[in-house]
């Protein structure tokens, strides 16, 4: 069957709406969510997550189970004696940490089945995504946040729009990358010039299609906006994810090769009200978690 021709403008260029629809249609070409990923994502909407049910789910996925046990026996979580069961791991990590680890490992395994264009590094994308997820989650533990349990998955999926652009619009994706190298400018600015929309907007569209909760959609859509003030004493997820994104980019954990030598900028954590001493403590914890998780994302 011949693929339908996409409509274009009189000059032959595809319109922003058509490009956006084409990128969104590429969601159908991604590997399906595994049963455990579906269930763990669904658990984000539940305030009462059963330890037993979560352990039962994880035990049915041998790859995730093995990776989880490797993680809990790593230097980060080292205890006397080896942890040999998912239930023991769950009792040590707690529901949230364990759920985050499972989410990260499952999403990375799904992305690694995708064949991106030559200029795209899936390893870089995975590491940037999980770094943002880990730091956003740590920030949500230190400052008042709206829907803090969604911080990790919001960070993990905030850039999925960049992946969709790379897969569905490889020519435009290459053009964006070249323009940034040659002329500078932010990714969002160049995307708007070339596509008529940004990867953040496309990320939000994807999360709507996946039926993720509204705060997670909003975090993806707004993470490049200037930090909004706390509402009712709580920071929106978008501010936490945007702050995490700016820090990990400054540290050189980027989707695209950095244009200058990285220089980690602790000052960006001031956007959520962290003082200097607390910033250092959060980053020390982040670096330990990141080092422990790195082997699972290459």
Task: Report the C-alpha gap between 5 and 189 in whole angstroms.
Answer: 28
Q: Is the pLDDT of residue 4 over 60?
A: no
Q: Which of the two residues, 38 and 191, has the higher pLDDT score?
A: 191
pLDDT at 160: 97
Q: Which of 45-54, 69-78, 96-105, 237-246 has the weakest average pLDDT?
A: 45-54
pLDDT band at 12 (very low <50, low <70, confident <90, very high): very low
Q: Which of 55-64, 135-144, 195-204 has the weakest average pLDDT?
A: 55-64
Bridge partners of 231? 234
Q: DSSP assignment of 189-203, as one string?
A: HHHHHHTSS-HHHHH
Q: Give the 3-state DSSP-derived string for 239-288, with helices as H, strands as E and coil as C.
A: HHHHHHHHHHHHCCCCCCCCCCCCCCCHHHHHHHCCCHHHHHHHHHHHHH
246-296 pLDDT per residue, tens? 999 999 999 987 767 889 999 999 999 999 999 999 999 999 999 988 887
> Taking a C-beta distance cutoff of 8 angstroms, is the pair 164, 26 a contact?
yes
* Average pLDDT of the chain, as a whole number: 88
Task: Report the C-alpha gap between 96 and 103 in whole angstroms.
Answer: 10
155-173 pLDDT per residue, tens? 999 999 999 999 999 999 9
> Taking a C-beta distance cutoff of 8 angstroms, is the pair 254, 268 a contact?
no
What predicted TM-score, i.e. pTM, was given to this entire model? 0.89
Domains identified in the chain and CATH numbers: 17-296 (1.10.3210.10)
Q: Is the pLDDT of residue 6 over 60?
A: no
As a whole number, mean pLDDT of residues 215-238 equals 90
Q: Is the pLDDT of residue 41 over 60?
A: yes
Q: Is the pLDDT of residue 7 over 70?
A: no
Q: Is the pLDDT of residue 205 over 90?
A: yes
Q: Residue 31 carries which DSSP code?
A: P
* Share of residues in the chain with pLDDT > 70 (%): 92
Q: Is the pLDDT of residue 209 over 90?
A: yes
Task: Report the C-alpha gap between 45 and 149 in whole angstroms.
Answer: 9
Count other Cβ atoms within 10 Å, centred on residue 40.
23
């Amino acid at each position: 069957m011949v693929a339908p021709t996409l409509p274009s403008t009189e000059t032959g260029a595809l319109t922003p709406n058509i490009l956006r629809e084409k990128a969104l249609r590429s969601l159908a070409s991604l590997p399906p969510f595994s049963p455990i990923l579906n269930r763990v994502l669904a658990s984000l909407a539940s305030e009462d997550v059963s330890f037993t049910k979560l352990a039962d789910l994880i035990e049915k996925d041998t790859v995730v189970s093995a990776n989880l046990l490797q993680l809990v026996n790593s230097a980060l979580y080292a205890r006397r004696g080896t942890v040999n069961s998912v239930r023991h791991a769950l009792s040590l990590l707690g529901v949230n940490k364990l759920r985050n680890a499972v989410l990260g490992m499952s999403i990375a395994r799904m992305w690694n089945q995708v064949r991106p264009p030559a200029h795209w590094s899936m390893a870089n994308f995975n590491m940037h995504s999980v770094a943002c997820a880990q730091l956003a989650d740590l920030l949500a533990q230190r400052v008042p946040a709206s829907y803090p349990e969604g911080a990790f998955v919001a960070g993990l999926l905030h850039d999925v729009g960049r992946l969709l652009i790379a897969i569905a619009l490889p020519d435009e994706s290459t053009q964006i990358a070249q323009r940034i190298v040659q002329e500078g400018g932010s990714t969002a600015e160049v995307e708007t010039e070339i596509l008529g929309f940004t990867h953040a907007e496309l990320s939000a569209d994807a999360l709507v299609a996946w039926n993720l909760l509204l705060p997670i959609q909003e975090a993806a859509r707004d993470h490049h906006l200037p930090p909004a003030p706390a509402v009712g004493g709580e920071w929106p997820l978008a501010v936490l994810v945007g702050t995490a994104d700016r820090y990990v980019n400054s540290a050189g954990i980027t989707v695209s090769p950095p244009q200058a030598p990285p220089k980690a900028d602790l000052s960006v954590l001031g956007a959520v009200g962290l003082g200097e001493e607390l910033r250092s403590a959060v980053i020390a914890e982040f670096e330990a978690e990141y080092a422990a998780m790195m082997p699972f994302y290459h």
